[in-house]
Amino acid sequence: MRGIRALIVVGCGLGSLVGCLSERPRPAPPQLAIAFTKVVVQSPDTLRGTVHAEDPDGVDSVWLAVGADPPVGEDGLLETVFDAPFLFLIPRGYSPNARIPVKVTGRDIVGFTGELDTVVTVSP
């Protein structure tokens, strides 16, 4: 009887060890990407591009902020992949070589939030 118990304990221990060594997905914020049609703009101008968010749990929402304007959000509809085009007006008044911040924020269904920061430059 002791031998059987010992085998069961050893078997459970090995099973636990194998479970710790295997790769498994860890909770994380959505992976974000942004693609611009151009990275150098005029003032005034129009900034166009595409926002991409991906999360295996599902994308809850994605926000995009350009310059000092408040962020504009879209519902991710809990899809695992979210792609959307965008269009922002760049107002008059930016000086040449000014860097305009662009920030993408994504939230997944679990509540994890990720951010991606970049800039576009005003042409001289």
**Is the residue at 25 inside a domain?**
no
**Is the residue at 54 inside a domain?**
yes
Token pair for residue 56?
A: 């295996």
Q: How many CA atoms lie within 13 A of 37 on its CB side?
A: 10
Q: How much is the average pLDDT of 29-36?
A: 97
**Is the residue at 80 inside a domain?**
yes
Report how many domains make up the chain.
Answer: 1
How would residue 5 be classed by pLDDT, with cut points 50, 70 and 90? low
**Is the residue at 118 inside a domain?**
yes
**Is the residue at 26 inside a domain?**
no
On average, the pLDDT of the chain sits at 88
Give dist(CA 36, CA 42) in Å, integer.
14
Residues spanned by the domain of 103: 31-122
- The residue ranking higher by pLDDT, 102 or 6, is 102
**Is the residue at 24 inside a domain?**
no
What CATH code is carried by the domain that includes residue 111? 2.60.40.640
Number of H-type helices and E-type strands within the chain:
1, 8
Residue 70 CB contacts under 8 Å (≥ 6 apart), including other chains:
none
